[in-house]
Structure 1
Amino acid sequence: MATTNDLKNGMVLVIEKQLWAVTDFQHVKPGKGPAFVRTKLKNVESGKVVDRTFNAGMKVETATVDKRTMQYLYNDGTSYVFMDTATFEQTEVSPAIMGDAVGFLLENQEAVVATNDGRVLYVELPPTVELLVEYTEPGLQGDRSSGGTKPAKLETGKEIQVPLFIVNGEKIKVDTRDASYQGRVQG
Protein backbone atom coordinates (compact mmCIF):
# COMPACT_ATOMS: atom_id res chain seq x y z
CA MET A 1 0.00 0.00 0.00
CA ALA A 2 1.08 3.54 -0.74
CA THR A 3 -0.59 6.92 -0.77
CA THR A 4 -1.26 9.14 -3.76
CA ASN A 5 1.53 11.41 -2.47
CA ASP A 6 4.02 8.58 -3.21
CA LEU A 7 3.07 8.18 -6.90
CA LYS A 8 5.88 8.05 -9.47
CA ASN A 9 5.95 7.49 -13.22
CA GLY A 10 6.17 3.77 -14.01
CA MET A 11 4.58 2.71 -10.71
CA VAL A 12 1.92 0.01 -11.18
CA LEU A 13 -1.34 0.28 -9.21
CA VAL A 14 -4.09 -2.28 -8.65
CA ILE A 15 -7.45 -0.58 -9.28
CA GLU A 16 -10.61 -2.70 -9.44
CA LYS A 17 -8.50 -5.89 -9.84
CA GLN A 18 -6.72 -4.48 -12.91
CA LEU A 19 -3.12 -3.32 -13.24
CA TRP A 20 -2.59 0.32 -14.23
CA ALA A 21 0.80 1.96 -14.83
CA VAL A 22 1.22 5.63 -13.89
CA THR A 23 2.39 7.46 -17.03
CA ASP A 24 1.92 11.01 -15.72
CA PHE A 25 0.89 12.63 -12.45
CA GLN A 26 0.47 16.11 -11.04
CA HIS A 27 -0.12 17.24 -7.47
CA VAL A 28 -2.65 20.09 -7.43
CA LYS A 29 -3.25 22.36 -4.44
CA PRO A 30 -6.04 24.75 -5.36
CA GLY A 31 -6.63 28.00 -3.47
CA LYS A 32 -9.93 26.64 -2.17
CA GLY A 33 -10.67 23.06 -1.24
CA PRO A 34 -8.47 20.05 -0.55
CA ALA A 35 -5.38 19.08 -2.56
CA PHE A 36 -5.68 16.29 -5.14
CA VAL A 37 -3.55 14.28 -7.55
CA ARG A 38 -4.37 14.25 -11.26
CA THR A 39 -2.99 11.12 -13.01
CA LYS A 40 -2.81 9.55 -16.44
CA LEU A 41 -2.98 5.75 -16.11
CA LYS A 42 -2.33 3.09 -18.76
CA ASN A 43 -3.89 -0.34 -18.42
CA VAL A 44 -0.95 -2.77 -18.47
CA GLU A 45 -2.86 -5.48 -20.33
CA SER A 46 -5.14 -3.61 -22.77
CA GLY A 47 -3.05 -0.47 -23.27
CA LYS A 48 -6.11 1.75 -22.62
CA VAL A 49 -5.18 5.18 -21.21
CA VAL A 50 -7.47 7.00 -18.74
CA ASP A 51 -7.30 10.18 -16.68
CA ARG A 52 -8.07 9.69 -13.01
CA THR A 53 -8.13 12.09 -10.07
CA PHE A 54 -7.37 11.00 -6.50
CA ASN A 55 -7.66 12.91 -3.23
CA ALA A 56 -4.22 13.79 -1.83
CA GLY A 57 -3.03 11.26 0.75
CA MET A 58 -5.56 8.61 -0.35
CA LYS A 59 -4.32 5.01 0.01
CA VAL A 60 -3.76 3.07 -3.24
CA GLU A 61 -2.73 -0.55 -3.70
CA THR A 62 0.53 -1.03 -5.56
CA ALA A 63 1.43 -4.11 -7.58
CA THR A 64 4.81 -5.80 -7.36
CA VAL A 65 6.30 -5.77 -10.84
CA ASP A 66 9.46 -7.80 -11.34
CA LYS A 67 11.54 -6.41 -14.22
CA ARG A 68 14.33 -8.66 -15.42
CA THR A 69 16.78 -8.37 -18.28
CA MET A 70 16.27 -11.42 -20.46
CA GLN A 71 17.70 -12.67 -23.72
CA TYR A 72 15.36 -13.46 -26.62
CA LEU A 73 16.03 -17.03 -27.79
CA TYR A 74 13.48 -17.99 -30.46
CA ASN A 75 9.85 -18.09 -31.60
CA ASP A 76 8.43 -21.62 -31.30
CA GLY A 77 5.45 -20.83 -33.53
CA THR A 78 3.02 -20.07 -30.69
CA SER A 79 5.09 -17.89 -28.35
CA TYR A 80 8.36 -16.01 -27.96
CA VAL A 81 10.88 -17.64 -25.63
CA PHE A 82 13.11 -15.49 -23.39
CA MET A 83 15.84 -16.66 -21.00
CA ASP A 84 16.74 -14.98 -17.72
CA THR A 85 20.46 -14.24 -18.07
CA ALA A 86 21.06 -14.77 -14.33
CA THR A 87 19.11 -18.00 -13.62
CA PHE A 88 18.86 -19.42 -17.20
CA GLU A 89 15.13 -19.87 -16.55
CA GLN A 90 13.00 -19.66 -19.70
CA THR A 91 9.80 -17.61 -20.03
CA GLU A 92 7.26 -17.82 -22.84
CA VAL A 93 5.59 -14.61 -24.03
CA SER A 94 2.47 -14.64 -26.21
CA PRO A 95 2.35 -12.66 -29.48
CA ALA A 96 -0.48 -10.52 -28.04
CA ILE A 97 1.80 -9.27 -25.25
CA MET A 98 4.73 -8.76 -27.64
CA GLY A 99 2.69 -6.50 -29.94
CA ASP A 100 4.76 -4.32 -32.29
CA ALA A 101 8.00 -5.21 -30.48
CA VAL A 102 8.40 -8.32 -32.68
CA GLY A 103 9.36 -6.07 -35.59
CA PHE A 104 12.54 -5.05 -33.77
CA LEU A 105 13.47 -8.34 -32.08
CA LEU A 106 16.48 -10.41 -33.14
CA GLU A 107 17.65 -13.69 -31.62
CA ASN A 108 20.06 -13.23 -28.67
CA GLN A 109 18.92 -9.61 -28.20
CA GLU A 110 18.32 -8.45 -24.64
CA ALA A 111 15.02 -6.97 -23.45
CA VAL A 112 13.36 -6.23 -20.12
CA VAL A 113 10.51 -8.62 -19.31
CA ALA A 114 8.11 -7.38 -16.62
CA THR A 115 6.10 -9.92 -14.62
CA ASN A 116 3.53 -9.82 -11.82
CA ASP A 117 2.83 -13.03 -9.84
CA GLY A 118 4.49 -15.09 -12.60
CA ARG A 119 2.35 -13.52 -15.35
CA VAL A 120 4.17 -11.59 -18.10
CA LEU A 121 2.82 -8.04 -18.34
CA TYR A 122 4.95 -6.51 -21.09
CA VAL A 123 8.31 -6.62 -22.86
CA GLU A 124 10.39 -3.45 -22.97
CA LEU A 125 12.96 -3.17 -25.76
CA PRO A 126 15.96 -0.83 -25.68
CA PRO A 127 15.05 2.66 -27.05
CA THR A 128 17.04 1.99 -30.24
CA VAL A 129 18.18 -1.14 -32.06
CA GLU A 130 20.58 -1.73 -34.95
CA LEU A 131 19.05 -3.66 -37.85
CA LEU A 132 20.08 -4.59 -41.37
CA VAL A 133 18.15 -3.24 -44.37
CA GLU A 134 17.14 -6.37 -46.26
CA TYR A 135 15.48 -4.68 -49.23
CA THR A 136 14.76 -1.17 -50.39
CA GLU A 137 14.25 0.38 -53.82
CA PRO A 138 17.25 2.34 -55.11
CA GLY A 139 16.93 6.11 -54.62
CA LEU A 140 16.97 8.19 -57.78
CA GLN A 141 19.93 10.53 -58.34
CA GLY A 142 17.83 13.71 -58.38
CA ASP A 143 15.89 12.76 -55.24
CA ARG A 144 18.79 13.15 -52.80
CA SER A 145 18.32 16.89 -52.25
CA SER A 146 14.59 16.71 -51.50
CA GLY A 147 15.02 14.89 -48.16
CA GLY A 148 12.29 12.39 -49.04
CA THR A 149 11.83 8.87 -47.71
CA LYS A 150 11.16 5.41 -49.12
CA PRO A 151 10.01 2.12 -47.58
CA ALA A 152 12.66 -0.36 -46.47
CA LYS A 153 12.20 -3.95 -45.27
CA LEU A 154 14.40 -4.79 -42.26
CA GLU A 155 15.94 -8.18 -41.42
CA THR A 156 13.11 -8.79 -38.91
CA GLY A 157 10.46 -8.35 -41.64
CA LYS A 158 9.35 -4.94 -40.30
CA GLU A 159 8.93 -2.19 -42.90
CA ILE A 160 9.86 1.41 -42.02
CA GLN A 161 10.52 4.68 -43.86
CA VAL A 162 14.19 5.53 -44.50
CA PRO A 163 15.99 8.36 -46.34
CA LEU A 164 16.52 7.89 -50.08
CA PHE A 165 20.31 7.37 -49.73
CA ILE A 166 19.96 4.11 -47.72
CA VAL A 167 20.87 0.98 -49.73
CA ASN A 168 20.35 -2.79 -49.36
CA GLY A 169 22.63 -4.45 -46.80
CA GLU A 170 23.21 -1.26 -44.81
CA LYS A 171 22.93 -1.35 -41.01
CA ILE A 172 20.74 1.39 -39.53
CA LYS A 173 19.65 2.52 -36.07
CA VAL A 174 15.85 2.41 -35.49
CA ASP A 175 13.80 3.90 -32.62
CA THR A 176 11.70 1.04 -31.16
CA ARG A 177 9.03 3.40 -29.75
CA ASP A 178 7.86 4.94 -33.03
CA ALA A 179 9.66 2.87 -35.72
CA SER A 180 11.58 5.90 -36.96
CA TYR A 181 14.95 5.90 -38.72
CA GLN A 182 17.67 7.35 -36.44
CA GLY A 183 20.79 7.10 -38.59
CA ARG A 184 23.40 4.86 -40.15
CA VAL A 185 25.57 2.56 -38.04
CA GLN A 186 29.27 3.16 -38.70
CA GLY A 187 31.62 0.22 -38.87
Structure 2
Amino acid sequence: MASTADIKNGVVLKIDGQLWTVIEFQHVKPGKGGAFVRTKLKNVVSGKTVDRTYNAGTKIETANVDRREFQYLYRDGDDFIFMDTSDYDQLTLTAAVVGDAANFLLEQQMATVALHEGEPLYVELPASVVLVITYTEPGLQGDRSTGGTKPATVETGYEIQVPLFLETGTKVKVDTRTGDYLGRVND
Protein backbone atom coordinates (compact mmCIF):
# COMPACT_ATOMS: atom_id res chain seq x y z
CA MET A 1 0.00 0.00 0.00
CA ALA A 2 1.11 3.51 -0.78
CA SER A 3 -0.30 6.96 -0.12
CA THR A 4 -1.32 9.76 -2.48
CA ALA A 5 2.14 11.31 -2.01
CA ASP A 6 3.55 8.40 -4.06
CA ILE A 7 1.43 9.18 -7.15
CA LYS A 8 3.60 10.04 -10.14
CA ASN A 9 3.26 9.75 -13.93
CA GLY A 10 3.67 6.14 -15.05
CA VAL A 11 2.75 4.57 -11.69
CA VAL A 12 0.28 1.70 -12.07
CA LEU A 13 -2.57 1.58 -9.53
CA LYS A 14 -4.81 -1.37 -8.73
CA ILE A 15 -8.40 -0.12 -8.43
CA ASP A 16 -11.36 -2.51 -8.11
CA GLY A 17 -9.25 -5.40 -9.45
CA GLN A 18 -8.21 -3.49 -12.59
CA LEU A 19 -4.88 -1.90 -13.46
CA TRP A 20 -4.77 1.85 -14.19
CA THR A 21 -1.68 3.85 -15.13
CA VAL A 22 -1.32 7.49 -14.05
CA ILE A 23 -1.17 9.80 -17.09
CA GLU A 24 -1.40 13.12 -15.24
CA PHE A 25 -1.55 14.13 -11.60
CA GLN A 26 -1.82 17.39 -9.69
CA HIS A 27 -1.44 17.96 -5.95
CA VAL A 28 -3.89 20.71 -4.92
CA LYS A 29 -3.84 22.62 -1.63
CA PRO A 30 -6.81 24.99 -1.58
CA GLY A 31 -6.96 27.85 0.90
CA LYS A 32 -9.99 26.32 2.54
CA GLY A 33 -10.36 22.61 3.24
CA GLY A 34 -7.97 19.70 2.95
CA ALA A 35 -5.43 19.00 0.24
CA PHE A 36 -6.24 16.52 -2.51
CA VAL A 37 -4.74 14.91 -5.61
CA ARG A 38 -6.38 15.11 -9.05
CA THR A 39 -5.40 12.28 -11.37
CA LYS A 40 -6.08 11.22 -14.93
CA LEU A 41 -5.92 7.44 -15.18
CA LYS A 42 -5.79 5.14 -18.20
CA ASN A 43 -6.98 1.54 -18.03
CA VAL A 44 -4.05 -0.68 -18.99
CA VAL A 45 -6.23 -3.26 -20.75
CA SER A 46 -9.05 -1.28 -22.39
CA GLY A 47 -7.31 2.10 -22.85
CA LYS A 48 -10.26 3.97 -21.29
CA THR A 49 -9.33 7.16 -19.42
CA VAL A 50 -11.02 8.51 -16.29
CA ASP A 51 -10.47 11.38 -13.88
CA ARG A 52 -10.20 10.52 -10.18
CA THR A 53 -9.69 12.68 -7.11
CA TYR A 54 -8.13 11.43 -3.87
CA ASN A 55 -7.93 13.18 -0.50
CA ALA A 56 -4.37 13.75 0.69
CA GLY A 57 -3.00 10.84 2.72
CA THR A 58 -5.47 8.30 1.32
CA LYS A 59 -4.02 4.81 1.02
CA ILE A 60 -3.89 3.48 -2.55
CA GLU A 61 -2.83 0.10 -3.89
CA THR A 62 -0.01 0.15 -6.43
CA ALA A 63 0.70 -2.71 -8.80
CA ASN A 64 4.17 -4.08 -9.41
CA VAL A 65 4.73 -3.70 -13.15
CA ASP A 66 7.97 -5.00 -14.61
CA ARG A 67 9.06 -3.14 -17.78
CA ARG A 68 11.63 -5.14 -19.75
CA GLU A 69 13.34 -4.71 -23.11
CA PHE A 70 12.35 -7.25 -25.73
CA GLN A 71 13.33 -7.62 -29.38
CA TYR A 72 10.48 -7.99 -31.87
CA LEU A 73 11.15 -11.04 -34.04
CA TYR A 74 8.20 -11.67 -36.36
CA ARG A 75 4.43 -11.85 -36.75
CA ASP A 76 2.68 -15.22 -36.74
CA GLY A 77 -0.94 -14.72 -37.83
CA ASP A 78 -2.50 -12.46 -35.19
CA ASP A 79 0.33 -13.07 -32.72
CA PHE A 80 3.56 -11.12 -32.31
CA ILE A 81 6.72 -12.97 -31.23
CA PHE A 82 9.20 -11.12 -28.99
CA MET A 83 12.50 -12.31 -27.50
CA ASP A 84 14.02 -11.39 -24.15
CA THR A 85 17.60 -10.48 -25.09
CA SER A 86 18.97 -11.39 -21.64
CA ASP A 87 17.89 -15.07 -21.59
CA TYR A 88 16.60 -15.58 -25.17
CA ASP A 89 13.14 -16.67 -23.97
CA GLN A 90 10.42 -15.99 -26.50
CA LEU A 91 7.16 -14.27 -25.59
CA THR A 92 4.03 -14.47 -27.76
CA LEU A 93 1.75 -11.42 -27.55
CA THR A 94 -1.73 -11.09 -29.01
CA ALA A 95 -2.72 -8.22 -31.29
CA ALA A 96 -4.87 -6.81 -28.44
CA VAL A 97 -1.82 -6.50 -26.16
CA VAL A 98 0.40 -4.98 -28.87
CA GLY A 99 -2.35 -2.52 -29.90
CA ASP A 100 -1.38 0.46 -32.09
CA ALA A 101 2.32 -0.33 -31.66
CA ALA A 102 1.83 -2.94 -34.42
CA ASN A 103 1.67 -0.07 -36.95
CA PHE A 104 5.29 0.87 -36.21
CA LEU A 105 7.00 -2.45 -35.38
CA LEU A 106 9.84 -3.65 -37.61
CA GLU A 107 11.59 -6.99 -37.24
CA GLN A 108 14.66 -6.86 -34.95
CA GLN A 109 13.36 -3.63 -33.33
CA MET A 110 13.64 -3.19 -29.55
CA ALA A 111 10.47 -2.49 -27.56
CA THR A 112 9.54 -2.29 -23.88
CA VAL A 113 6.97 -4.85 -22.72
CA ALA A 114 5.17 -4.21 -19.43
CA LEU A 115 4.50 -7.37 -17.41
CA HIS A 116 2.36 -7.77 -14.29
CA GLU A 117 2.78 -11.10 -12.46
CA GLY A 118 4.16 -12.60 -15.69
CA GLU A 119 1.15 -11.45 -17.72
CA PRO A 120 1.96 -9.02 -20.59
CA LEU A 121 -0.03 -5.77 -20.37
CA TYR A 122 1.11 -3.53 -23.22
CA VAL A 123 4.02 -2.66 -25.53
CA GLU A 124 5.83 0.69 -25.39
CA LEU A 125 7.81 1.98 -28.35
CA PRO A 126 10.20 4.93 -28.53
CA ALA A 127 8.48 8.29 -29.13
CA SER A 128 9.46 8.15 -32.81
CA VAL A 129 10.69 5.60 -35.34
CA VAL A 130 12.29 5.85 -38.76
CA LEU A 131 10.35 4.11 -41.54
CA VAL A 132 10.72 3.94 -45.33
CA ILE A 133 7.85 5.01 -47.60
CA THR A 134 6.98 2.00 -49.77
CA TYR A 135 4.30 3.69 -51.85
CA THR A 136 2.97 7.19 -52.45
CA GLU A 137 1.53 9.03 -55.42
CA PRO A 138 3.93 11.46 -57.12
CA GLY A 139 3.46 15.08 -56.07
CA LEU A 140 2.10 17.53 -58.61
CA GLN A 141 4.40 20.33 -59.74
CA GLY A 142 1.99 23.14 -58.86
CA ASP A 143 1.11 21.77 -55.42
CA ARG A 144 4.46 22.34 -53.70
CA SER A 145 3.70 25.79 -52.32
CA THR A 146 0.35 24.95 -50.74
CA GLY A 147 1.80 22.91 -47.88
CA GLY A 148 -0.73 20.14 -48.52
CA THR A 149 -0.34 16.48 -47.66
CA LYS A 150 -0.93 13.17 -49.38
CA PRO A 151 -1.27 9.58 -48.11
CA ALA A 152 1.85 7.40 -48.03
CA THR A 153 2.24 3.75 -47.05
CA VAL A 154 5.29 2.92 -44.91
CA GLU A 155 7.14 -0.41 -44.72
CA THR A 156 4.93 -1.73 -41.89
CA GLY A 157 1.82 -1.29 -44.08
CA TYR A 158 0.55 1.69 -42.06
CA GLU A 159 -0.68 4.77 -43.94
CA ILE A 160 0.41 8.25 -42.85
CA GLN A 161 -0.01 11.77 -44.24
CA VAL A 162 3.19 13.29 -45.68
CA PRO A 163 4.06 16.52 -47.54
CA LEU A 164 3.48 16.49 -51.31
CA PHE A 165 7.19 16.57 -52.24
CA LEU A 166 8.08 13.20 -50.64
CA GLU A 167 8.57 10.19 -52.90
CA THR A 168 8.62 6.40 -52.59
CA GLY A 169 11.83 5.18 -50.93
CA THR A 170 12.23 8.25 -48.67
CA LYS A 171 13.03 7.61 -44.98
CA VAL A 172 10.73 9.51 -42.64
CA LYS A 173 10.46 9.95 -38.87
CA VAL A 174 7.01 9.04 -37.51
CA ASP A 175 5.53 9.78 -34.06
CA THR A 176 4.50 6.41 -32.56
CA ARG A 177 1.87 7.96 -30.27
CA THR A 178 -0.11 9.82 -32.96
CA GLY A 179 1.10 8.40 -36.29
CA ASP A 180 2.08 11.91 -37.46
CA TYR A 181 4.89 12.63 -39.92
CA LEU A 182 7.74 14.39 -38.07
CA GLY A 183 10.29 14.91 -40.82
CA ARG A 184 12.54 13.47 -43.45
CA VAL A 185 15.62 11.48 -42.42
CA ASN A 186 18.85 11.85 -44.41
CA ASP A 187 21.51 9.16 -44.14
Distance 1:37 1:103 in 2: 35
3-state SS, counterpart of residue 100 of structure 1: helix
Deviation per CA, 1:70-95, whole angstroms, max 9, x where unpaired? 10001111310111111111111110
Q: Which residue of 1 aligns with 2:107?
A: 107
Q: Which residue of 2 aligns with 1:63?
A: 63
Distance 1:100 1:108 in 2: 18
Mapped contact 2:65–2:115 kept (Cα < 8 A): yes
Distance 1:92 1:141 in 2: 47
3-state SS, counterpart of residue 172 of structure 1: strand
Mapped contact 2:174–2:183 kept (Cα < 8 A): yes
CA RMSD of aligned residues (A): 0.8
- AA in 1 matched with 2:157: G
Deviation per CA, 1:132-172, whole angstroms, max 9, x where unpaired? 10100000011111111000011110000000111011111
In the TM superposition, residue 55 of structure 1 has moved relative to its aligned partner by 1.0
Unaligned runs of 5+ residues in structure 2 are none
Q: Which residue of 1 aligns with 2:95?
A: 95
Matches within 5 A, 1:23-172: 23-172=23-172
Unaligned runs of 5+ residues in structure 1 are none
Distance 1:78 1:177 in 2: 21
Distance 2:121 2:35 in 1: 32
Deviation per CA, 1:92-140, whole angstroms, max 9, x where unpaired? 1110111111111110001100000011111001111111101000000
Distance 1:78 1:186 in 2: 34
Distance 1:28 1:98 in 2: 35
Q: Which residue of 1 aligns with 2:11?
A: 11
Q: Give me the TM-score of the superposition, normalised by structure 2.
A: 0.98
Q: Which residue of 1 aligns with 2:176?
A: 176
In the TM superposition, residue 36 of structure 1 has moved relative to its aligned partner by 1.0
- AA in 2 matched with 1:132: V
Distance 1:26 1:105 in 2: 34
Distance 1:79 1:7 in 2: 34
Q: Give me the TM-score of the superposition, normalised by structure 1.
A: 0.98
Distance 2:10 2:186 in 1: 34
3-state SS, counterpart of residue 97 of structure 1: helix
Equivalent residue pairs, number: 187
Please identify runs of 4+ aligned residues in structure 1 that moved more than 4 A: none
Distance 2:12 2:40 in 1: 12
- AA in 2 matched with 1:44: V
Deviation per CA, 1:7-49, whole angstroms, max 9, x where unpaired? 1000000011100101111111122221111111111101111
